[in-house]
Amino acid sequence: MALRLILVRHAKSSWDNPTVDDHDRSLNGRGREAAPRMGAWMAERGHVPDCAAVSTARRAVETWEGLCSAWPTVPQTAFKSSLYHAGPDRMLSVLRLARGTRLLMVGHNPGIGAFATQILRHRPTHEAFTRFPTTAVLVADFDIDSWEDAAFAGAETVDFAVPRDLP
């Protein structure tokens, strides 16, 4: 049985107010536009999750809301403070506790990009993958029966896209 992981870096955030705490920064206009577009792309490609783990940072939550706006239903969601600026080891720990067969995680760079690189057996050839830009989406399959068995270098790339790829 294959389990599907969908990794999303939060959409473009605003730096307009330097007094706002990093955790509380919201999306800017470009980010608010990109998240639903990527959600629609995910739906068109059959990449809608059945559950999600989302960083509690405002920009990650707003990205999640934008993605979901393009789907018929909102998947079961856990908002996790442990994903705020999490590195690959912490993200793997969160993944191993997941339920469902199609899990989406919304996080932050540099951790989510490093995690994406480490979970894959082979990187996608897309030129943007190494940067894992804002609102990037990686879809990867693990040939395992339980998320508890997820490991680095254990997944195969299914799909990867960034907002600039979309019409």
Q: What is the pLDDT of residues 45-61, one digit of tens each?
A: 999 999 999 999 999 99
pLDDT at 108: 98
Sign of CA dihedral 10, 126, 128, 156: positive
Provide the annotated binding site: 59
Across 82-93, b (16+ Cβ under 10 Å) vs e yields ebbbbebebbbe
Give the pair of three-digit tokens for residue 26.
């919201």
pLDDT digits (tens, 9 = 90+) for 144-157: 999 999 999 999 99
pTM flag (> 0.75): yes
- Lay out the sheet containing 155-161: strands in order across: 76-80, 51-55, 102-107, 3-9, 137-142, 155-161
Question: Cα separations (Å) of 116 from 21, 26, 76, 79?
Answer: 27, 24, 22, 20
Provide the annotated binding site for substrate: 59
Query: Which CATH code of 3.40.50.9100, 3.40.50.1240, 3.40.50.720, 1.10.3720.10 fits the domain covering 3-165?
Result: 3.40.50.1240
User: Would you list the domain boundaries of the chain?
Assistant: 3-165
Output phi, psi for 6, to 5 deg.
Answer: -120, 115
